[in-house]
Amino acid sequence: MTPPSPRSKSKTVATWVAFLGGGLGLHRFYLHGLRDKLGWLLWVPTLLGLWGLHRVSLYGQDDQLAWLLVPVLGFTLAGCMLQGIVYGLTPDAAWHARHNPQLPAEQAPASGWPAIVGVILCLLIGATVLMATIAFSGQRYFEYQVEEARKISQ
């Protein structure tokens, strides 16, 4: 078995890059190059969400702009984890047909357990971030509704 060419894209690496640097679009850059517009656009919601976290640390949870910005980060990270899950669960043959068409099928390396471990971590972190984002958003929304109802009743 000959080693894969330097231009071949590994399913395992793509899964782990989505896990570790998905919010910055690193998985998109790995697969599609630095000219990938979606990879560069992922910086926008990530930075907005980080700004929201910074506002929470400065002004507390009562900052209404942070209510909007923090969930943006959560949903972006959850989406990137979902992308890592999709990468890791793609069958090897389909992966190589799409990302490594230059490799003959018999030379295409199998992904193995490291990709599955990456999928499991993406699932754990993605589900946690998604549930925390939904809980934060719901809590802030209902607290806002209670405050508005108090204003109306006075």
In a domain, 148, yes or no: yes
Asked if residues 9 and 36 have their Cβ atoms less than 8 Å apart, the reply is no
pLDDT at 103: 79
In a domain, 102, yes or no: yes
Q: Take residue 105 and report the two structure tokens written for it.
A: 């099928």
In a domain, 35, yes or no: yes
pLDDT at 6: 56
Instruction: Enumerate residue ranges in the chain where pLDDT < 50.
Output: 1-2, 4-5
Structural domain including 18 reads: 11-153
pLDDT at 137: 87
pLDDT tens digits for range 1-32: 445 445 789 999 999 999 999 999 999 999 99
Q: What is the 3-state secondary structure (H, E, C) of 35-50?
A: CCHHHHHCHHHHHHHH
Q: Considering its fold, how many domains does the chain have in total?
A: 1
Classify burial at 100, counting beta carbons within 10 Å of its beta carbon; exposed 0-12, middle 13-18, buried 19 or more.
buried
Q: Take residue 65 and report the two structure tokens written for it.
A: 């702009």
Rg (CA), the chain: 20
Where b means 16+ CB within 10 Å and e means fewer, 3-16 reads: ebeeebbbbbbbbb
In a domain, 6, yes or no: no
In a domain, 5, yes or no: no
